[in-house]
Structure 1
Amino acid sequence: MPDVIVASARSLPLLLAIASLLTPGARAEEVSVAVAANFTAPMQEIARLFEQDTGHRAVLSFGATGKFYAQIAQGAPFGILLAADDRTPERIGREGLGDPQTRFTYAIGQLALWSRQPGYVDAEGRVLARNDWQHLAIANPKLAPYGQAAMETLARMGLTDQVQGRVVQGENIAQAYQFVASGNAELGFVALSQVMQGGQLRAGSAWIVPADMHRPIRQDAIVLKGAQANPAAVALMQYLRGERARAVIRAYGYAF
């Protein structure tokens, strides 16, 4: 019996070391993620699930894709970019600011014309041609792909000149949404994800803009320079492809 006790005592440090490796979260890392403003709500939910399921942590920053590109080019310490388009991640890979082998489309966005007033927006967007509203909010088309899609939609409808004097621009899609939500604009082109959850419109009225009215809003992710070996970055890119994350993305009105 004494021999057994001595053997167990000697092996205790090894057993503790093995146990520490197997303990969830013991080797957890974190990654800083630049997230397109339209993807705020779903990514907050995904980040919570990601930490719960893997132990890794995603530290999120939200904003306009164009602004993030400028920050990344200046050396901002992000590990992953979740863009609102596919061109910016492609450019980042081409310029050596990220790993082009990691780029993939994590979602395809949908544009919506939204009012916080129920029944105000009709099913075909004809409200845009009326003169009983004062302000139409859009995201800055030079910085935000959803703003560019909004301008393409107006051009397709032949309404660019008619509404130009009533357009108010937000720096990003989140600000455009706030203009409408606060009542400072009667109408706004927003991301469907901002006004939809669980397959249902949360408030007001909306027209989901047909996909052929503008170029596809392919939203790509890419791992940025220096983060390729970060376990949290690798794990998050895998997680975004998984069914649990995709269920959240679908619930907010995105496609793949």
Structure 2
Amino acid sequence: MTALEVAFSPCPNDTFVFHAWTHGLVPGAPETKVTFADVDVTNTAALRAEFDVVKVSYAALPWLLEKYELLPCGGALGRGCGPLVLTADGRTNLDGARVAVPGERTTAYLLMRLWAQGQVPASVEMVPFADIMPGVRDGRFDAGLVIHEARFTYPTFGLTALADLGQWWEESTGHPIPLGAILARKELDTAELTRVIRSSVDYAFAHPESSADFIAAHADEMDPDVQRQHIALYVNEFSRNLGDEGYAAITDLLDRAHAAGLVPPIGPLRAG
């Protein structure tokens, strides 16, 4: 059987989740050919159906569900883990601000647009994630939208949080925040892939030491303590199973975004 083309980010939560599958530790699982890529890259590549299984932003789903099925495991959805809007100048809103964001169809940017309705930035620029905090610190931007480990490291850049979009979302809706989704091409055995990925998650939780070297090798020299915090924040019970609570959160996010004219409408998210 031809190896499946699988794409996910080099971030610790993804390498933690996919380590067992991609290293032959899940019995009966198909072989994989792995591509590491930032989520903004995979969001675009998935439009062309370049991968069999791919990690994307939930915000990108309305453009992808014709060719892909949303799997109920392996992704990032939770509480206390949302994107941050950071500044260096103490501003209280984004009016007139030059804003750096990590991608056009990231969940972070979608949340920022929902939160910032009525505010009018001077400009919004798509910027590689690693360049956002230095850019705000150095005055190239007035505000930056950040994700992942930046929750733990932004004070070292002398920045302050204008908004915690996850907190805003949770307080506004009561839902956890949907961040990253796992999709599989519809013509594949998605039930079997769900078993494989869930087994990979279970193995990761049961044997956290097994994936440590793999995680460290792809974590951009991230401090080991930050790696552990990153995993603890983004890998949780929703990574095993979205369940009713997870699906409700995703549907509410995308329905609100559609009502605001930001995304196309979506159909049912569950297979069948």
Structure-1-length-normalised TM-score: 0.56
Aligned residues: 196
* Mapping for residues 220-235 of structure 1, pairs under 5 Å: 220-228=181-189, 235=196
The superposition leaves residues 137-185 of structure 1 with CA deviations (integer Å, 9 ceiling, x where unpaired) of 12444x2221111122222xx5x22xx11x33216xxx24423335433
Q: Give the Cα separation in 1 of the matches to 2:194 and 2:64.
A: 17
Q: Which amino acid aligns with 2:98?
A: H
Q: Which amino acid aligns with 1:111?
A: P
Do the aligned residues in 1 keep the contact of 2:59 with 2:107 (CA within 8 Å)?
no
Q: Which amino acid aligns with 2:126?
A: G
Q: 1:16 corresponds to which residue?
A: none
Gaps of 5+ in 2: 209-227, 239-272
Gaps of 5+ in 1: 1-26
Q: Secondary structure at the match of 1:221?
A: strand
1:251 aligns with 2:203: no
1:43 aligns with 2:14: yes
Q: Secondary structure at the match of 2:85?
A: strand
- Report the identity percentage: 8
The superposition leaves residues 44-96 of structure 1 with CA deviations (integer Å, 9 ceiling, x where unpaired) of 45444554561755502424254133211xxx2x12122210761x7645x3x
Q: Give the Cα separation in 1 of the matches to 2:230 and 2:132.
A: 25
Q: Secondary structure at the match of 1:223?
A: strand
The superposition leaves residues 11-48 of structure 1 with CA deviations (integer Å, 9 ceiling, x where unpaired) of xxxxxxxxxxxxxxxx9x8532233x6x7443245444
Do the aligned residues in 2 keep the contact of 1:135 with 1:185 (CA within 8 Å)?
yes
Q: Give the Cα separation in 1 of the matches to 2:18 and 2:55.
A: 13
* Mapping for residues 178-193 of structure 1, pairs under 5 Å: 178-182=131-135, 183=138, 184-191=140-147, 193=148
1:127 aligns with 2:79: no
Structure-2-length-normalised TM-score: 0.53
Q: Give the Cα separation in 1 of the matches to 2:207 and 2:85.
A: 24
Q: Give the Cα separation in 2 of the matches to 1:111 and 1:250.
A: 13
1:136 aligns with 2:99: yes
1:219 aligns with 2:160: no
Q: Give the Cα separation in 2 of the matches to 1:206 and 1:34.
A: 33
Do the aligned residues in 1 keep the contact of 2:76 with 2:180 (CA within 8 Å)?
yes
Q: Secondary structure at the match of 1:42?
A: helix
* Mapping for residues 1-256 of structure 1, pairs under 5 Å: 30-35=3-8, 40-48=11-19, 50-52=21-23, 54=25, 57=32, 59-62=34-37, 63-64=39-40, 66-72=43-49, 76=50, 78-85=51-58, 88=61, 92-93=64-65, 95=66, 97-99=67-69, 102-104=71-73, 106-108=75-77, 110-114=82-86, 120=88, 127-129=91-93, 135-141=98-104, 143-155=105-117, 158=118, 160-161=119-120, 164-165=121-122, 167-170=123-126, 175-182=128-135, 183=138, 184-191=140-147, 193-196=148-151, 200-201=152-153, 203-204=156-157, 205-207=159-161, 208-209=164-165, 210-212=167-169, 216-228=177-189, 235-240=196-201, 244=205, 251=231, 253-254=233-234, 256=238
Do the aligned residues in 2 keep the contact of 1:84 with 1:220 (CA within 8 Å)?
yes
Q: Which amino acid aligns with 1:179?
A: I
Structural RMSD (CA): 4.3
Do the aligned residues in 1 keep the contact of 2:6 with 2:33 (CA within 8 Å)?
yes
Change (3 A) 1:42 1:251: closer
Q: Secondary structure at the match of 1:127?
A: coil
Do the aligned residues in 2 keep the contact of 1:106 with 1:241 (CA within 8 Å)?
no
Change (3 A) 1:234 1:59: farther
Q: Which amino acid aligns with 2:231?
A: A
